[in-house]
Every structure is written in structure tokens, then in C-alpha cells.
Structure 1
Amino acid sequence: MIQMIIQYEVKQSLLGQYREAIDKISDMLPEFEADMFSYSQSDQRNMFIESFYVPTEAHYHAMKKLRLSRSHSVFGRLEDFVPGGLERIGFMAIKQKR
């Protein structure tokens, strides 16, 4: 199992719309075998951290590719919210020992 952590900044003026988008994102994640989704705002003003689990490294790489896709109807919405666009999103994977 892989814990996937995603970090990015959200434009102050779009925080309300971002919260709607993150709800749609969290609703969609189970379709990709992701579970235990959570997100939080860091101490730094508009930095957000998402965390969830995927079953394999292949799932991690596929999800990362999807999350960076501007053309994806749900994940691509973050393009407008993140200063500098999707390429400014940071990804990290933590492999869980069984």
C-alpha cells in the first residue's frame, strides 16, 4: 500500500471554489482504488496537503499522471486554483510496510 501525499498552494481569491472542487475530487478517488482521503490547510496561509492510500506503485504513478492532466474534467480544475498551474503541485509517495 502506498500513501500518496499531494501539496500545493491555492489562490486566496479562489478558496471557496477550491473547497467545492476538492469535494468532487474526494468523491471521485474511490473510482481509482484510492481510500482514506483527507486534506488539510497547512500553517502557511494557502498551502493544502492531500493524503490518501492507493494499493500499488502503479496506482501512484497513474494517479499522479491523472492529477497533472489539464484535460481531466475533475482533476484538471486545479489548474485555475494553483498559482503557476498544475506543474506547481508536489507529489510524494510513502510505501507502507505490511
Structure 2
Amino acid sequence: MTRAVQIFLEYKVKEDSIKEYEKTMEDVLAGLEKFGASQVDWYEAADQGSLYVEMFKLPTMSHYDTIKKYRQDKDHPLFGKLDPFIEGGCKKVHCWAFIQKT
């Protein structure tokens, strides 16, 4: 049995781009489902200004490898829209995958 993979993304948004970033995230969050994401959560850090985190589940590590590649690609038609808003651009989106232990 294959267990879902818990994905954690973290990045810092430019202070002067937060409104545009949050508006663009509406499309990004909707688009994640097309890549197999479920249980999608999106957070802003309470104690660190303009730090954002996304957490969601993917069915396989192959899905994760694809999402990681796309999320760090400024030329991706959906995820690349975030590039101007992220400190250092899309290549600064930190991605981790976790398998739940029983």
C-alpha cells in the first residue's frame, strides 16, 4: 500500500507584493488539485513577517518531484506567476516531502 506524501513548502514574499501575491495564490491553490494535491492548507507566519507556508498531500513521490520542479520554475505557466512576488524568485521556494510514521 502506498501512503500519501505530506508536502511542506516555505518561502518569503516581498513586503510590497503581498496583496498581489495573495490574489495570485487563489489560482495557484486551485491549480494544485490538478496536480493531485489534496488537503491543501496555506498559512502566513504569525511571528515572521511575509513568510508563507503551504501544506498538502500528494499521492506519490513522483507527484512530489513534479510539483517541486514546477514550483521552482519561473517559466511554469501557473506557478511561475509567483516569481515576481517571492524573495529571490521561485528558485527560493523550499520544498520538503514527508512520509507519516505509524
- Please classify the TM superposition score into its range, dividing by the shorter chain length: over 0.9
Indicate the residue corresponding to 1:87 in structure 2.
91
Select the residue among 53, 69, 82 that pairs with 1:78: 82
Select the residue among 5, 10, 23 that pairs with 1:7: 10
Report the TM-score when normalising by structure 1: 0.94
Unaligned ranges ≥5, structure 1:
none
Indicate the residue corresponding to 2:64 in structure 1.
60
Deviations 1:9-65 (A, max 9, x none): 001111101111111111111111111111111120010000000000111001101
Unaligned ranges ≥5, structure 2:
none
Deviations 1:62-84 (A, max 9, x none): 11011111111210011101111
Q: In percent, how many aligned pairs have the same letter?
A: 30
Root-mean-square deviation (Å): 1.1
8 Å Cα contact 2:72/2:92 also seen in 1: no
Aligned residues: 98
Q: Which runs of 4+ in 1 moved over 3 A?
A: none
Instruction: Please tell me the residue identity of whatever aligns with 1:95.
Output: I
